[in-house]
């Protein structure tokens, strides 16, 4: 196996791996069972009462 063959193999399978990984992330992000978790994370930033000047 020479260098050019190894580079071609790694490029094609690396692209395949990244596409599969991106699809997996999208499926996880849009899976209906995860909606509550993401909504809670979205609103948790607004629940904190750490505002500048609050202690004054």
The whole-model pTM stands at 0.58
Whether residue 34 contacts residue 28, with contact meaning beta carbons closer than 8 Å, is answered with: yes
Q: pLDDT band at 12, cuts 50/70/90? A: confident
Give the span between the Cα atoms of 56 and 52, in whole angstroms. Answer: 9
Summary mean pLDDT of the chain: 85
Q: What angle do CA 27, 33, 39 make, to 5 degrees?
A: 95
Please report, rounded to a whole number, the percentage of residues in the chain having pLDDT higher than 70.
84
Give the span between the Cα atoms of 36 and 55, in whole angstroms. Answer: 33
- Residue found by looking up tokens 């629940």 in the block: 47
Name the token pair of 8: 């071609």
Please report, rounded to a whole number, the percentage of residues in the chain having pLDDT higher than 90.
45
């Amino acid at each position: 196996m020479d260098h050019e063959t190894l580079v071609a193999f790694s490029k094609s399978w690396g692209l395949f791996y990244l596409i599969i990984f991106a699809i997996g992330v999208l499926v996880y992000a849009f899976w209906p069972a995860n909606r509550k978790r993401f909504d809670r994370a979205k609103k948790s930033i607004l629940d904190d009462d750490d505002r500048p000047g609050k202690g004054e």
